[in-house]
Amino acid sequence: MIPLSVPNLDLEIVDNLTDCIKTGWISTGGDYIKTFEQKLASYLKIDEVVGVQSGTAALHLLYQYFEFRDCEVLCPTVTFIASINPLLYVNAHPIFMDCDDTLNMDLDKLEDFCFYECEFINEKLINKKTKKWVKGIIVVHIFGNPIDMERLMNIADIYHLIVVEDAAEALGSYYTKGRYKGMFCGTIGHAGIYSFNANKIITTGGGGAIVSPDKKLLDKVRYWSVQSKTDPLSFVHDEIGYNYRMLNLNAALGVSQIDHLESFIKIKQENYQFYQKQIETINGLTLLPYHSYARCNEWFYSVIVDGYQETRDELLQRLQQEGIQTRPLWGLMHEQKHLKDYQTYRIEKAPYYRDHLINIPCSTNISMNEMKFVCEHLDIEEEPLVSIITPVYNSARFIKETLESVLNQSYPNFEMICVDDASTDTSADVIKTYQERDKRLKYIRLVKNSGAAVARNIALEHAKGRYIAFLDSDDLWDKEKLKIQVRFMKENKVSFSFTSYQMMDIDGNCFERVIKAPEKITYSELLKNTIIGCLTVMVDRRMVGDFKMPEVRDSQDYATWLQILKQGHVAHGINQNLARYRRVNGSISNNKLKALRSNWKVYRKIEKLSILKSSYVFTFYILHALKKHLLLR
Ligand SMILES: *Cc1c(COP(=O)(O)O)cnc(C)c1O
C-alpha cells in the first residue's frame, strides 16, 4: 500500500526518546519542551511559542482567550473539523463561508457578508439576522497554501475582527511578496496555531503550538495549559485550567523533526513538480496550484477530477484496490450533523470540490517508483494525446499534403502545432484554412526567422501531449503511423521510438529503398549513426520528462536524440515504413556537406567528445550517411 501521508522519522529520534525514558522526563516537564519551543520560534523568526498537546487544544485555548462565548465567528466550510469543534467547546457560533478555487475562504464573499449582512454598531460588527456580535474569523491555510493575508487583515481591521490563523497544515509557508514578505503563515493574525500530528509536515506524534505577537496572550494560555497552577507547591489554582501542555516525549520527536523541515519542504516541492508534469498530460485531471506570492510548503497534492474517464468515486475506489491510498476532500463543515443548523453564506463552490477532489500520496519518504506507480494508475487513457511538432518555413508548395497526412491519421487524439518561422509565402493561409476545419491544428507565428530549433522549442513549450512526434512541413506520414507507434510504445513501455521510412524527391516520387529501423539503438550506437529520421520519432514525456532542442542551426534533432539517449533511454525501432521524407535537393550538395560539418559540431560542442573519439564515431557516421544517401537509386 502506498500511504497518503505518513511521518518521515530518522533514528536520531530514538536517542532523544531513550534520553527521556532514562531521565524519567516523559510528561509535561523536561528540557525538550523548551528546546523545541525555542527552535520553532527561531525558525518562525518570532520571540516565543507555546507548545501544547494538539492543534485542537491550541485552538481551544485561543477561542477561550478571545472570549468567543455567545459570539459569532466566521469560519471556512472547507477545513478539518478541528478548526471548528473548539468553537463549540466555548459556546461560540460558527458562520460557514464558501471557498474559492484555491480551497481557501473566498475573500470576496467574506467582504460581502460583512458589508451587506452586518451592521457596524459601537465598533462591533453585528449580524443583522441574529443580532449577535461577529467577533472573529478563523482562517485556515488549506493544505499549506497561504490565503491572501494582506487582504484578509485589511477586512478584519475595518470590522474589528479577531483573526485566528489555523496554520496546522502550513508550517513553513511564508509570503515572498507584499506587506508580509518574509513572514510565516500563522504569525500574522492576532494569534496562530500549528499541529504536529503524524500526518503533518513535521510531527511530534501528537502536538501543537500557539504563536502570537501578544506576550500577555502567550503567558495566559501557557498558564491555562498547566491547570492554571499559580503556586506549584501548594497547588493553588486561580482559574479554570486545562491539561494541555506539550509532553517532553513528544517534544523530543519535534526537536529532531524541525531540523528536517526545510529538506522536507524541498522534497514536497520536487515531488509536486514531478506529479505536475505527469498529471498535466492526463485528460480530466488537474493538480491544484500553489500561490506564487508565497514560498509554500506544498504539503498536500490535490487533484481535481473533472471530465475524466471515471467518476471521482470510481477513481478513489480503483486506486484503493490497486494499493494507492487517496482520499476525497473533508466532508464540508456546514453539512456535519452537529453543525447543520449554523448559518451559512452563499456556499456555492465548496460542494464542487467536495465532489471532484482527491488527495494523492505525498509523504516525504515516497519513492520515485511509487510516484510513477501512482501516475500510471491515474493514466488509464487508451489513446493519450500526441503533440506533433511542425516547424514551417515557406512550404506553401508542400504543406497542404503534409497537413492532410496528419489530419487523416486513424489515431484521433493529437494536436499538431505548426510554428511558422516567419514565412514570406502563403504557408500561413494554407494552415489557417485547415485550422478552421480541424481544431486539433494549432498555429503559432514567429515575428522573426529564428531557425527550426527555436521553432520546435516553442512548439514543445506549448505541447500538452504525453507523446511528442515530429514532422517537417514537407514530409508525409502513413495514415496508420500514430496508431501503430502509440500502441507499440504503450505495450512495450518504450520511452523513445522511431520507424522505418522512405525518401521521395521534390515531386513526391518515392525512391525504392526503405531506410530500415533497427530494433534498438543506444547512445553510443547513435553517435556512429544517422539512422533515426526526425519525422519518425516519438518520445514519451512521461518517461523522458520535458526536453528541448539545443538551439543550433543544424543537426539539432540529432543532438536532441543524443541528449535523451545519454540519460540511459534506448531508442526502439519499428521496422514498418510509416513516413516519407522529401529530399528537396536531389544530389549530395552543399547541404550534405553542411550537415556533416554541423554533426562534427554536435560531437565536439554539445556532446563534448575528444577529437579522437569524435573522429572515430564520425568515420562511422559518414559511412552510414553515404550508404543512406548514395545507394538510393
Ligand atoms: C490537523 C489540523 C488541526 C488540528 O490538529 P490536531 O493536532 O490533530 O489536533 C487543525 N486544523 C487543521 C486545518 C488541521 O489540518
- Secondary structure of 518-535 as H, E, C letters: CCEECHHHHHCCCCCCHH
42 vs 27, residue with greater confidence: 42
Question: 74 CA to middle of ligand 1, Å?
Answer: 18
Q: What is the pLDDT of residues 235-245, one digit of tens each?
A: 888 899 999 99
Averaged pLDDT for residues 462-470: 95
Question: Vertex 142, ends 136 and 147: CA angle to 5°?
Answer: 65
Question: 247 CA to middle of ligand 1, Å?
Answer: 17
For domain 264-378, give the fold.
Aspartate Aminotransferase, domain 1 (3.90.1150)
Residues 6+ apart with CB under 8 A from 389: 417, 419, 456, 459, 460, 463, 468, 469, 470, 471
Averaged pLDDT for residues 528-540: 93
Ligand 1 atom closest to the Cα of residue 54 is 7
> Dmax over Cα atoms in the chain, in whole Å?
108
Averaged pLDDT for residues 71-99: 98
% of residues, the chain, pLDDT over 90? 85
Ligand 1 atom closest to the Cα of residue 208 is 7
Averaged pLDDT for residues 288-317: 97
Question: Vertex 132, ends 127 and 138: CA angle to 5°?
Answer: 75
Measuring from each residue's beta carbon to the nearest atom of ligand 1, which residues come in under 6 Å? 54-56, 79-80, 82-83, 140, 166, 168-169, 195, 197, 208
- Asked whether 573 and 528 are in contact (CB, 8 A), the reply is no
Domain boundaries, given as residue ranges, for the chain: 46-230+240-260, 264-378, 386-631
Question: 252 CA to middle of ligand 1, Å?
Answer: 20
Helix residue spans in 162-242 (DSSP H): 215-225
Query: What pLDDT score does 587 carry?
Result: 45
Q: Which residue has the CA at smallest separation from atom 6 of ligand 1?
A: 55
Q: What span, in angstroms and rounded, lies between the C-alpha atoms of 325 and 494? A: 28
Q: What is the pLDDT of residues 396-430, one digit of tens each?
A: 999 999 999 999 999 999 999 999 999 999 999 99
Ligand 1 atom closest to the Cα of residue 83 is 11
Question: 181 CA to middle of ligand 1, Å?
Answer: 25
Question: 83 CA to middle of ligand 1, Å?
Answer: 7
- Whether the pLDDT of residue 592 is over 80: the answer is no
Q: What are the backbone dihedrals phi and psi of residue 534, each rounded to the nearest 5 degrees, phi first? A: -50, -40
Query: What pLDDT score does 586 carry?
Result: 47
Q: What span, in angstroms and rounded, lies between the C-alpha atoms of 57 and 55? A: 5
- Whether the pLDDT of residue 585 is over 70: the answer is no
Class assignment of domain 386-631?
alpha beta
- Whether the pLDDT of residue 139 is over 50: the answer is yes
Ligand 1 atom closest to the Cα of residue 58 is 9
Residues 6+ apart with CB under 8 A from 214: 190, 191
- Asked whether 528 and 558 are in contact (CB, 8 A), the reply is no
Question: 63 CA to middle of ligand 1, Å?
Answer: 15
Q: Which 3 state secondary structure label does DSSP give 75?
A: strand
What pairing do the DSSP bridges indicate for beta strands 571-582 and 520-521? antiparallel
Split at pLDDT 50, 70, 90, the class of 590 is low
Split at pLDDT 50, 70, 90, the class of 175 is very high
3-state secondary structure 280-335: CCCCCEEECCCCCCEECCCCCEEEEECCCCCCHHHHHHHHHHCCECCEECCCCHHH
CATH 3.40.640.10 is the classification of domain 46-230+240-260? yes
Q: 242-255 b/e with 16+ CB inside 10 Å = b?
A: bebbbbbbbbbbbb
Averaged pLDDT for residues 306-326: 96
Tally of residues, the chain: 633
Q: What is the pLDDT of residues 618-630, one digit of tens each?
A: 998 888 888 776 6
CB atoms within 10 A of CB 132: 18
Query: What pLDDT score does 628 carry?
Result: 73
Place of cell 501528537: 206
Query: What pLDDT score does 234 carry?
Result: 84
Query: What pLDDT score does 633 carry?
Result: 44
Residues 6+ apart with CB under 8 A from 418: 390, 391, 392, 431, 441, 442, 443, 444, 459, 473
Q: Mean of the per-residue pLDDT values for the chain?
A: 94
Ligand 1 atom closest to the Cα of residue 206 is 7
Q: Which range among 73-77, 90-94, 382-386 shows the weakest confidence by mean pLDDT?
A: 382-386
Q: Which three cell numbers stand for residue 448?
A: 522573426
Query: What pLDDT score does 130 carry?
Result: 97
Single-letter code of the amino acid located at 459: A
Averaged pLDDT for residues 263-272: 98
Q: What span, in angstroms and rounded, lies between the C-alpha atoms of 543 and 489? A: 11
Question: 55 CA to middle of ligand 1, Å?
Answer: 5
Query: What pLDDT score does 627 carry?
Result: 78
- Whether the pLDDT of residue 588 is over 80: the answer is no
